[in-house]
Amino acid sequence: MARVCDITGKSSQVGGRYSNRTRATQFNPTGKTRRQPNLQKRRIFVPELGKTVTVNVSVKAMRHVKKNGAFATLKKAGLV
């Protein structure tokens, strides 16, 4: 299973891994690192449907749910 947010579509990113000491020299032997999104498995109750939906969401997506409501957010993501 890929680490992807069900609502926002956030996934992992590839970035550099540098220390300040390595940055100060000419030779950078460091490789790339994979940065994972902050995903949480949450059960969200949807009052309009009267049932609970289990989703794999990022913390930013949980803020969307809190602001816009569960039904509107999940409907826009195509999960309901």
Percent of the chain predicted with pLDDT > 90: 65
Is residue 2's pLDDT more than 90?
no
- Give a yes or no: residue 55 inside a domain: yes
- Give a yes or no: residue 27 inside a domain: yes
Mean of pLDDT over the chain: 88
- Give a yes or no: residue 7 inside a domain: no
Question: Which CATH number do you get for residue 68?
Answer: 2.30.170.40
Work out how many domains the chain is built from and give that number: 1
Query: Given pLDDT bands bounded at 50, 70 and 90, which one contains residue 1?
Result: low
Range of the domain at 26: 13-77
d(CA 18, CA 12): 18
pLDDT in tens, 35-47: 999 999 999 999 9
Distance of CA 42 to the CA centre of its chain: 12
pTM of the model: 0.75
pLDDT of residue 28: 64
Element (H, E) at 59: helix 59-68
- Give a yes or no: residue 48 inside a domain: yes
- Give a yes or no: residue 72 inside a domain: yes
